[in-house]
Structures are given as structure tokens and as C-alpha cells.
Amino acid sequence: MNKNANHSIKCTVDECKHHCCGENYCSLSCVSIGTHEPDPTICQCVDCESFVRSDGNCK
């Protein structure tokens, strides 16, 4: 697995396919952020829409 960390995108979601194993960064050059709420008011209302469930290679 050869992933380059994008040091502009911090991420702690180990379960994502794009997460850099062993580092708290995303390997994508750009991510899409969105919401599942009609009127987001707290951070739990915001989602990384670039998330893809990992096959577990980091663990």
C-alpha cells in the first residue's frame, strides 16, 4: 500500500480507504464536504463525502 499523505487534509478516520496508515492525514488531493441536515448547526451535521469504507488493510 503506497499512499502519499496530503498534509493539508488532516484525518483520523482509520476506517476510510483514503486514510494514510500510521499517519493522521488523507491521501486524496481534494475532499468533498457536505451535510445531511437541512440547517447544520454543529460539527456532527457535517460529513466527508469522499469517505469510502476501507477493506481493513491498515489494521
Residue 1 has pLDDT above 70, yes or no: no
Cβ 54 vs Cβ 16: under 8 Å = yes
Sign, Cα dihedral of 27, 28, 30, 33: negative
Q: Cβ neighbours of residue 15 under 8 Å, at least 6 residues apart?
A: 53, 54
Distance CA(56)–CA(30), nearest Å, equals 22
What CA–CA distance (Å, rounded) separates 44 from 22?
A: 25
For 13-45, what is each residue's pLDDT tens digit? 999 999 998 899 999 999 999 999 999 999 999
Confidence of residue 9 (pLDDT cuts 50, 70, 90): very high
